[in-house]
Amino acid sequence: DTAVSQTPKYLVTQMGNDKSIKCEQNLGHDTMYWYKQDSKKFLKIMFSYNNKELIINETVPNRFSPKSPDKAHLNLHINSLELGDSAVYFCASSPGWGENYGYTFGSGTRLTVV
């Protein structure tokens, strides 16, 4: 069983569309994250939820909206997609907030905006 699963793995869409990326973890972790890997391979945190509550909200356009229906799921919705949104998006989870455990990452969603 995949510990942290993201769907879809690949997403090609046109500018201006709205799309969602889903993430689910079956590790029983309390904390989930979204990271964006840019073209230079730099991994940057976007959002973090702990037990369905938003705890990290980095400076990202408000076209990006995370949603956590329960602590096992953290979805990312993106409105009015732009070319610059093309990147690989990684979901991750960790056992708890404030604990220095290594994260478990999903395999990534490659988003291409054309």
Q: Which residues contact another protein (rule: CB under 8 A)?
A: 4, 35, 40-45, 48, 56, 90, 92, 97-100, 102-108
Give the residue with the Cβ less far from another protein, 9 or 63: 9
Least distance (Å) between residue 45 CB and another protein:
5
Shorter beta-carbon distance to another protein: residue 15 or 43: 43
85: three-class secondary structure by DSSP: helix
Where do the DSSP E strands lie in 4-79?
4-7, 10-13, 19-25, 31-37, 43-50, 53-57, 64-70, 73-78
Which run of H or of E encompasses 90?
A: strand 87-94
CB of 59 to another protein, least distance (A): 13
Residue 35 vs 78, nearer CB to another protein: 35
Smallest distance from another protein to CB 38, Å: 9
How many beta carbons lie within 10 A of that of residue 76, not counting itself?
22
